[in-house]
Amino acid sequence: MTASIVPVSSQEWAIAIHGGAGGPPEKLTPPRRQARRAGLETALGIGRDILAAGGTSMDAVEAVIRSMEDDASFNAGRGAVLTGDGKAELDASIMDGRDHQCGAVAGVTTVKNPISLARMVMTETKHVLLAGPGADAFATSMKLPLVDPSYFLSSRTAESTGDEASELHLGTVGCVARDQAGNLAAGTSTGGTTQKLPGRVGDSPIIGAGTFADNQTCAVSGTGIGEEYIRYAVAYDIAAQIRYADRSLESAVTEIMTQRLKPGDGGVIAISHDGTLVLQHNTPGMNCGAADARGRFEIFLELENGGRRPTTAPDATATVPTSRPDPSRPDQ
């Protein structure tokens, strides 16, 4: 299963999603692999339908991430991993590439869909980031759906907890999109890392670390060890390489994945201003997918060579990598 990544035309759309980077998919039980794949297909289909109908990239990103926040197969919203004291503390951010407007929340505990709260921080306040009880209180004032904290644990089982430990789950869901008007958007949502200290905040709600969007360069969402993404300002650095060094999106992402981040740190999905999609990871697996106006609709649990060609020349035309056979999909 291969296809060339080429720029889309001015009226075409494209989208990529991720559902977390971590261990090899074969360490998941077949039902868990199937659930991951089904969740990715559902979320990608939602984004595809919004963009194909002429919807905005911001609406597509929010709706896609809401879908994965509601799906306990992923580490965001209902499926979030727990802090050291057994609670779910959720982070999210969203950014509009047209004008750099953005919003984020960190450490929320009662908000059903943190990505929607992040968007409301962007549209309804003069702030960028709200955290903790203040963010939860803002959600109440905005009449967003709230849940008892037990909601985030309601679908967890001993089997799923064991899977998380064995796959070195690094969490996070995300989406990047280009709409028919050429506008880019990015969003990221997570429950963080397993057994994190209460109050720990990773890269997902940090604009420029886990999320960034700029119509002149690219939109990026990351997944992995958040501290490393913060230290290297990963999402912004990819955009900066394009703006200031005239790098291609592929070469900028490859430089981050191979030169800045260490093997096992995580993955990135990104879309350039011309609609080129790049998906890469330096972990054994990354749940991800991509779709565009030309009929592409692909789901992966891992990418061949982490999404990188064996030898990647700077600014060369990229090729969509292939996934290794998934034991849960005999037709693959």
Q: Hey, which residues are catalytic here? A: 172
CB 107 within 8 A of CB 143: no
Compute the half-sphere exposure of residue 65: CA atoms within 13 Å on the CB side of its CA: 36
Minimal CA–CA distance to 277: which of 262, 258, 298? 298
How far apart (Å, rounded) are the C-alpha atoms in residues 103 and 93?
A: 6
CB 211 within 8 A of CB 186: yes
CB 286 within 8 A of CB 261: no
Burial of 67 (0-12, 13-18, 19+ CB in 10 A): buried
How far apart (Å, rounded) are the C-alpha atoms in residues 94 and 128?
A: 10
CA 92, distance to chain mean position in Å, is 10
CA-angle at 205, arms to 51 and 228, nearest 5°: 110
Residues in the chain: 332
Minimal CA–CA distance to 190: which of 226, 161, 232? 226
Tokens 């955290």 sit at which residue? 131
